[in-house]
Amino acid sequence: MSAAPVPLFPDWPASTDLGIRHRTSALRGKRVQVRGKFLYAGEEKYFIQGVTYGPFREGEEHLGHPEKAKRDFLLIGAAGFNTLRIYHPPGKWFLDLAAEFGLRVMVTVPWQRRVLFLDDRAVRKEIRGSVRRAARSGAGHPAILGYYVDNEIPPDLVRWYGPQRVEGFLDSLVRLVKDEDSEALAAYANFPPTEYLIPRETDFLSYNVYLHRGPDLRAYLSRLQNLAEDRPLVLGEFGMDTIRHSEEEQSNLLSLHWGEVFRGGLAGTILFSWTDEWFTDGVDVEDWAFGLVKKDRQPKLAYRAISSQTLSPHDSLIDKFPLSRTPKVSVVVCSYNGGATLRGCLEALQKLSYPDYEVILVDDGSKDDTQSVAADFPMVKNILQPNRGLSAARNVGLQAATGEIIAYTDSDCMPDTDWLYFLVATLLPGTYAAVGGPNSNPPAKNSVAAAVAACPGAPTHVLLSDTEAEHIPGCNMAYWRTVLSEIGGFDAEFRTAGDDVDVCWRLLQAGHRIGFSPSALVWHHRRFTMQAYIRQQKGYGEAEAMLRFKHMHYFDPQGSARWKGVIYGLPRFERVFHRPIIYHGVFGTGFFQCLYPKPASPWAQLVGGLEWNALTLFIFLVSVQIEPLRILPLLMLGATLL
C-alpha cells in the first residue's frame, strides 16, 4: 500500500509539504462578544482571521453543496482561519457544517435595490425585510458571528442624502438584527470613499481596504483605529489579483498585511478571497483571481504563507508577531485608599502577555484595606509611605524601578492583556519618548456608576495626529526611564491630578515627542458615588489652576487650556459647533474621502463643563419660583445631552 498522502480534492497532486498545522474542533461555549477594542469568545480574545467564501454558481444560496463545503472547510481550518464572510444568507446546512469545523460566519445581507433608497418607502421596507429575515433564520446558531447590514454604499448616494441620514438608516438595520438575534454582532462594511460614514450602533467598525504599500497601510490603519475610538476595528476585505500580479507578489503582500493588522491592534481581518472560483451578477468571473487557492483548490503561495502566521487559540501576539527586543518594563501602580479596585488591577497585571516586567505598588498612606489586598500578591514589590500625594508616589515608583521603560496605571484600572506589547512596540523605533493609550469605562454595575460614567470630566488623550499625542492620561502612560529622569520626574506639587499634563508639556518643551497606541487599552473605573465624582472634579480644578500658573502660555485669558491637538471624549455638542471637514476629492470622486476634525470649540467645552451644569441646577431651583425662567434650564440641559 502506498504511503503517499491522499489528496483532499481528486485532481490535486499529492503533496507532502502542505501539512496541517491547525486542528479544527466544533464550536462550543458562548458566542463572540465585544469588549472595548477587542472581541472575546468566553474569556479568550477572538481575533477574526477570515476568508470570503463564494458566491458560487451552484446552490440556492450560491454557496455550493455540502460535499464541496466540507472539503473547503477542512482546508480553511487547516490553515488556521476561523471566520467565513459570505455574501448571501446561508441555509441551515451551511451553518451546521461551519460549526462542525469550528468556523464562524459573518453574513453580508445584500440589498436588491439601492438607488435613492431613502426616498422610496417600498425599497426601505424591502431592505428591512431582508435584514430581518436573515437575522431570524440564523438566530441563536453557534456558527453565526454576526451580520453586515450592507456593503459599500456608493459615495454619491451618501453625499446626496448626507452621512447623518444614511448612518441613521444603517443604525435602524442594526437594531433589527439585535431584535431578532441579540447575541449576534452587527456592522456595516464600509470602504475608503465613505470613510466618514460611521454608524453609532454597530458593534465594530469595518472597512474594505486594498492598499498595497506597507507604510500607507500602516498609516491608514492608525487613522481608522482612531475613527473607531473605543470600538474594535476589522478589515472586511483585502486581497491581490494573481492575474495582474504574480503569486509571489500576492504572498508577500498578504503576509505584510497580516502582520500590520495584528501588530496594529485590530480585532481581525478577512482576506478576499478563498478561491478563484467566483460567480456574481449571473456571470462566472474569469478575469480576476484573488483566491488563496485556485479553482481546483490547489494552494497558491499565499495559502502556505498565511497558514504559518495565523493565531491558534493558545498563541499570544508577542509570540506570533515578536518585537525586535523586549526591554524590561516596570509597571508602577500608585494607590491611596484604592483597596476596592486594587485586587482587579493586580490580577489584570499578573495576566499581561509580556516576557519581562515587574509590578511596583506604591501605597501612599492608605487607610483602607490596600495592604491586606497587596499581601495576596507576593510577586508585587510593595512600597508603603506616608501620604505625600500622587506625584511623589510616582517618583518613588520611578526610583524603585529596574526597567528601561516605566509604565504607569492606577489602582482603579485593569489593563488589557496585550497592554505592554502595544506600548513597547510604539516606543521601540525610538521616535517617541513616551506613549499612552485609551482608557474605557467597564460596564456599570448600577445606575449611579452609569450616571458618573456619562458625566463630563473623564481623563482622556489629546492627539496631534493619528499616532502622536499632545497629552496622555496618567492612568495609561509609559516613558523611557532615561527621558523621565532627564526632566526630573513628576512635580510633587501636584498631589491629586495634573502631574500627567505637566510632564507631557515639559517633555514637549524639551523637544521630545509623545506617541499614542489606540490598542494599548486600560479599563478605568470612574467614581462609584456622586460625592466621590465631585471630589475628583474639584481636584481636577485645583490642578488646572496650578497648571495655569506654571504653564501660562498654554492657557487663554479666560483660563481655558489651549490645546493644539484634538481632544477625545468631548461632549456630543461639539459636533454642532465644529463639524469635521470631509475631503471628497475632485467632483466627489476621491478614493480616500477623509475626515478632518477641527480644533476643539470653546462652546462645546463650556456646555460640557461642571460649571455649566452647576449653573443649570441653580437656574432650575430659581425657576421654581419664577415661571418665565422654567424653559431655560431645560434648554441648558438639552445642550449638555445633545
| Residues 448/203, Cβ–Cβ less than 8 Å | no
For residue 616, what pLDDT is reported? 86
User: Would you state the pLDDT for residue 89?
Assistant: 95
Same domain, 131 and 258: no
Examine the domain organization and report whether 424 and 554 are in the same domain.
Answer: yes
Mean pLDDT, the chain, rounded, equals: 87
Q: What digits encode the pLDDT tens for the residues 325-364?
A: 999 999 999 999 999 999 999 999 999 999 999 999 999 9
Q: Residue 4: which pLDDT band, with cuts at 50, 70 and 90? A: very low
Map grid coordinates 516605566 to a residue.
Answer: 406
Are residue 460 and residue 558 in the same domain, yes or no? yes
Mean pLDDT of 537-552: 77
Mean pLDDT of the region 11-21: 42
Measured from the Cβ of residue 602, the count of other Cβ atoms closer than 10 Å reads 13
Looking up residue 535, the CATH number of its domain turns out to be 3.90.550.10
Q: What letter represents residue 69's amino acid?
A: A
Query: Pairing mode, if any, of strands 205-208 and 185-190?
Result: parallel
Same domain, yes or no: 133 and 197: yes
Examine the domain organization and report whether 149 and 119 are in the same domain: yes
Q: State the amino acid at position 104 in one-letter form.
A: R
Looking at the structure, do residues 459 and 503 belong to the same domain, yes or no?
yes
Does 95 reside within a domain? no
pLDDT at 559: 64
The whole-angstrom distance between residue 274's C-alpha and the CA centroid of its chain comes to 26
Do the domain assignments include residue 81?
Answer: yes
Q: Are 361 and 380 in contact (CB under 8 A)?
A: yes
* Same-domain check for residues 338 and 481: yes
**In this structure, what CATH number is given to the domain that contains residue 223?**
3.20.20.80
What's the domain range around 365?
329-567
For residue 323, what is its C-alpha cell? 518585537
The vertex-228 CA angle with 223 and 229, nearest 5°, equals 100
pTM: 0.86
Mean of the pLDDT values across residues 362-383?
A: 96
pLDDT tens digit sequence for 279-335: 887 888 889 999 999 999 999 999 999 999 999 988 999 999 999 999 999 999 999
Domain boundary residue, one of 541, 567, 593? 567
Asked if 503 contacts 494 with a C-beta cutoff of 8 angstroms, the reply is no
**Assigned domain for 379 exists:** yes
User: How many whole angstroms separate alpha carbon 475 and alpha carbon 335?
Assistant: 11
**Cis? peptide before 560, omega within 30° of 0:** no
Distance CA 88, CA 61 (A): 6
Do 361 and 376 sit in the same domain of this protein?
yes
What is the distance, to the nearest Å, from the Cα of residue 176 to the centroid of all Cα atoms in its chain?
24
Residue 3 reports pLDDT greater than 50: no
pLDDT at 126 over 80: yes
Chain centre distance of CA 217:
17
Residue appearing with cell numbers 469635521: 580
- 395 and 376 together in one domain: yes
Tens digits of per-residue pLDDT, 62-120? 899 999 999 999 999 999 999 999 999 999 999 999 999 999 999 999 988 888 899 99
DSSP 275: B
Is residue 85 a contact partner of residue 52, using CB atoms and an 8 Å limit? Answer: yes
Residues 582-600 pLDDT 10s:
656 665 555 665 655 555 5
Last residue of some domain: 517, 536, 567? 567
pLDDT at 578 over 60: no
Q: What is the pLDDT of residues 180-203, one digit of tens each?
A: 999 999 999 999 999 989 999 999
Dmax of the chain from CA atoms?
A: 99
Beta bridge partners of 283: 280
Residue 140 domain-assigned (yes or no): yes
Contact by Cβ (8 Å): 328, 424? no
Would the pLDDT of 11 be above 50?
no
Same domain? For 155 and 140 the reply is: yes
Please name the residues in contact with 453: beta carbons below 8 A apart, sequence gap of 6 or more. Answer: 441, 444, 526
581, 562: one domain: no
The answer as to whether 98 is a domain residue is: no
Q: What is the DSSP string of 596-614?
A: EPPPPPHHHHHHTSHHHHH
**Those residues with Cβ within 8 angstroms of residue 501's Cβ, 6 or more apart along the chain or in another chain:** 471, 543, 547
Cα-Cα-Cα-Cα torsion 25, 28, 33, 38, nearest 10 degrees, comes to -30
Is residue 432 over pLDDT 80? Answer: yes
Round to whole Å and give the CA distance between 356 and 120.
60
Q: Is the peptide bond before 55 cis (omega within 30 degrees of 0)?
A: yes
Q: Last residue of a domain, which of 533, 567, 601?
A: 567
Residue 525, in any domain of the structure? yes
Note the pLDDT of residue 601.
Answer: 58
* Total domains present in the chain: 4
Examine the domain organization and report whether 175 and 304 are in the same domain.
no
Confirm whether 476 is domain-assigned.
yes
Q: Which residue, among 190, 235, 600, 232, has the nearest Cα to 438 in the 3D structure?
A: 232
Cα distance from N-terminal residue to C-terminal residue, the chain: 75
Asked if residue 324 belongs to a domain, the reply is no
Band of residue 608 on the pLDDT scale cut at 50, 70, 90 = low
Q: Residue 208: its pLDDT value, please? A: 97
